[in-house]
Amino acid sequence: MRSGEDRVGALKSLPARRLFLRQLFDAAVAASDPMRVIPKALPARPAGRVIVIGAGKASARMAEAVEARWGPCEGLVITRDGYGRYLQGVEVAEAAHPVPDVRGLEATRRMFDLLDQCGEEDFVLALISGGGSSLLTWPAGDVTLEEERAMTQALLASGAPITAMNALRKHLSRAKGGNLAAAAWPARMLSLIVSDVPGDDPAMIASGPTVIDDTTQREAREIARRWNIPLSPSMQAVLDGHSTTVSKGDIRISRTENRIVAAPALSLQAAADLARFAGVSVRILGDAIEGEARDVAADHAKIALEAQAGLAVDEVTLLLSGGECTVTQRGRGIGGPNAEYCLALSCALDGVAGIAAIACDTDGVDGAAEVAGALIDETTLQRATSAGLSAQAFLDDNDSHSFFRRLGDQIAPGPTLTNVNDFRAMLIFGKSA
């Protein structure tokens, strides 16, 4: 077995560094694979009727893990297009994400019809993961699906943090904010959750369909005002009327247990373990970092340069972080938070030697593109200039995916079947390395 020094030496070439960063991302994704985490949290199959439901990008894979342990089950899960699995008994419905569509609406209604049949002796297993806010969709009051779609598009372009987005979406929904659990009452429910939100608050993951809601309609109205989200008259009526969410003390949620089975910290630790095995020192900046992607990139560039200044020749360190960045759409380009982070980071580092980085969403989708993110190194800006590309112009137009596509630096793993939010890694070598 090679020594740590030998393993670090193997990272000196640019191709080796790029490969290593991709391996770190793959390790982070593998650590949150539902086939790995669900069996650890799953109890013995209860006697009597068992119903499996779920929503999110990982829900079908989670159901697959359940049936691998319990055998065929009755139920329905809703997942993103391309994220379905062939299950033994549970039905899989695919729908649009991040903007809801009629397939998600129809599947959500059928799920609630299924829960309406539950009795006190039944057991409901809920499988919740990121993406559920769009996939589990049923507008409240007289709000139409088209109005919900328009609101979602406005939220996605606003730069609002996920907690604000989901607080507003809860109060305009019949399905979120504890309503899924309430619909199953008086059955007993266990909700297993894969977290994709900073802080791992179950009430915010997929807009908390199985969790009591402590936000208010007043807060929802303020969110819409602060982030300039247009509300239709029917939305205003819902927010001015009786709350649609389930609050503390509601008996309908008294038999529900919520349990997080995978979270960003788990995946960052898996990447850190791989790096340390390779002889690289590791610093985790945090698993709940939020903010504008370009602002976070600027901060991380400063941290990286400071770290590099303190490294001796041939020393290597790795900065890891997770969370969820946002993008305020000002341009007309095609991008996502992770690709925009990489583009802004590359501009901030300005070609400094010895620093390479990757940023990807662990669900395999960065924004609305079928791309997880991108990878940069000290040659990124030079290669862009040679190709006649202005990195700053692409950044100004929020066109990061187009930029990295033309350079061949996109990361496109396809459906990962999990979702524990953004993964960022910066590999930093001493200046003379």
Q: Domain ranges for the chain, please list them.
A: 4-31+265-429, 34-262
Provide mean pLDDT across the span 207-223.
Answer: 97
Q: How confident is the model at residue 433 (pLDDT cuts 50, 70, 90)?
A: very low
Kindly report the average pLDDT of the chain as a whole number: 95
Q: What is the pLDDT of residues 13-52, one digit of tens each?
A: 999 999 999 999 999 999 999 999 999 999 999 999 999 9
Pairing of strands 74-80, 91-95: parallel
The predicted structure's pLDDT at residue 7 = 60
- What is the model's pLDDT at position 3? 46
Residue 6 has pLDDT above 80, yes or no: no
Long-range contacts, stretch 387-393, CB < 8 angstroms, 24+ apart: 391/343, 391/346, 391/347, 392/347
For residue 431, the model assigns a pLDDT of: 80
Number of other CB atoms surrounding residue 416 within 10 Å: 25
pLDDT, position 5: 56
Which CATH number is 34-262's, of 3.40.50.11270, 3.40.228.10, 3.40.50.10180, 3.90.550.10?
3.40.50.10180
Model pTM?
A: 0.94
Please say if the pLDDT value at position 233 is more than 80.
Answer: yes
**pLDDT interval class at 314 (50, 70, 90):** confident
pLDDT for residue 162 is more than 70: yes
- At 12 the pLDDT is 80
Mean pLDDT on 401-416: 96
Residue 307 in this model has a pLDDT that exceeds 90: yes
Write down the CATH superfamily of domain 4-31+265-429. MOFRL domain (3.40.1480.10)
State the number of CA atoms in the 13 A half-sphere of 421 facing the CB: 28
Confidence of residue 336 (pLDDT cuts 50, 70, 90): very high
User: Hey, what's the torsion of the CAs at 429, 374, 336, 92, to 10 degrees?
Assistant: -120
Question: Are residues 336 and 373 in contact, defined by beta-carbon separation less than 8 angstroms?
Answer: yes
How far is the CA of 100 from the CAs of 82, 112, 131, 221, in angstroms? 15, 17, 10, 21
pLDDT for the residue 41: 96
Confidence band of 367 (pLDDT split at 50, 70, 90)? confident
Rounded mean pLDDT, 171-200: 97
